[in-house]
Amino acid sequence: MSTLTVKDLCKTYIVNKRQNNVLKNINMEIREGEMVAVMGPSGSGKSTLLYTVSGMDAVTAGSIDFFGKDLSRLSPKEMSGVRLNEMGFVFQQMHMLKNLTIYDNIILPAYQAAGGRGRGSRAKINEQAKALMHKLQISEIAENAVNEVSGGQLQRACICRSLINHPKMVFADEPTGALNQQNSKEVMRELNRINAEGTTILLVTHDIKVAAKSDRILYIEDGSIKGEFTLGRFESETEVKDRERRLSNWLMEMGW
């Protein structure tokens, strides 16, 4: 089943009366359960692609079908409902609220989604938050402030937050961009795990080690998809080196 189908997507920014055609006729399809990485030079439109296909930013032309819903036809209120309930977001700049604890940051979107729906749903949210934090091995930092934890712990907390409402799909923009090798590896292990449990993932990365753990790589250059490379399902650490080698050969062909 298709999760996300993008047809002839164009995005143009106008800055100082000059038109910048950032995305030019993008066509792509992400299947349910896939993990797809977007790579390409800086400024090629990777973040813009992620933001437009997830409805965070309006498109100039084209259509985006997300689980049978045409996102361009939704009202702003419907769109924010889809983003809150069906999508999860992880960013390089982590956007955590500094005056809240890690735990409160994680449950915030769930409390927003639950609205005023009373104690029963709050108990469920707390249960879900605790289970996620346990799974991502950050239970011990629940009551810490945002500036009292490591970068890797903070990014794992962001992943918990992105999963709190059981999204169908997670969008991640350079989720390991601010992390060292070790933390980056931990974050990827968690993204692979939630993907194996069924969450579809679209991520942007410039790190070959990160992209090599996804099913498929899209290479974007100057606002167009220039090529795509299927690595297949990532099953075990023993194939990592081989996947990295195949990916890096292909990236060289792409002019990376």
**What is the binding site for ligand ADP (CB under 6 A)?**
13, 15, 20, 22, 40, 42-48
Measured distance CA(87)–CA(153) in Å, rounded: 22
- Residue whose CB is less far from Mg ion, 34 or 173: 173
CB 206, min distance to Mg ion, A: 9
**Burial of 32 by CB count in 10 Å (0-12 exposed, 13-18 middle, 19+ buried)?**
middle
Q: From the list ligand ADP, Mg ion, none, pick the one residue 71 interacts with, judged by a Cβ distance below 5 to 8 Å according to partner type.
A: none
Q: In what order do the strands lie in the sheet with 18-31?
A: 18-31, 2-15, 61-66, 69-70
Q: From the list Mg ion, ligand ADP, none, pick the one residue 226 interacts with, judged by a Cβ distance below 5 to 8 Å according to partner type.
A: none
CB 46, min distance to ligand ADP, A: 3
Q: From the list ligand ADP, Mg ion, none, pick the one residue 42 interacts with, judged by a Cβ distance below 5 to 8 Å according to partner type.
A: ligand ADP
The total of other beta-carbon atoms located within 10 Å of residue 149's CB is 18
Q: From the list ligand ADP, Mg ion, none, pick the one residue 1 interacts with, judged by a Cβ distance below 5 to 8 Å according to partner type.
A: none
Parallel, antiparallel, or unpaired for β 200-204 and 35-39? Answer: parallel
Q: From the list ligand ADP, Mg ion, none, pick the one residue 15 interacts with, judged by a Cβ distance below 5 to 8 Å according to partner type.
A: ligand ADP
CB 41, min distance to Mg ion, A: 10
- Residue whose CB is less far from Mg ion, 41 or 151: 41
Residues 234/193, Cβ–Cβ less than 8 Å: no
**Half-sphere exposure of 20 toward its Cβ, with a 13 Å CA cutoff?**
10
Residue 195 binds to Mg ion (criterion: CB under 5 A) = no
Residue count (the chain): 256
Q: From the list ligand ADP, Mg ion, none, pick the one residue 44 interacts with, judged by a Cβ distance below 5 to 8 Å according to partner type.
A: ligand ADP
Residues 62/8, Cβ–Cβ less than 8 Å: yes
Nearest to 84, CA basis, from 24, 198, 162: 162
- Residue whose CB is less far from Mg ion, 51 or 111: 51
CB 179, min distance to ligand ADP, A: 18
Computed on alpha carbons and rounded to an integer, the radius of gyration of the chain in Å comes to: 18
Packing angle, helices 76-86 and 102-114, rounded to 10: 130
CB 5, min distance to Mg ion, A: 23
CB 221, min distance to Mg ion, A: 14
Parallel, antiparallel, or unpaired for β 216-221 and 224-230? Answer: antiparallel
Per CB under 5 A, which of residues 22..61 are in contact with Mg ion?
47
List of residues contacting Mg ion (CB under 5 A) = 47
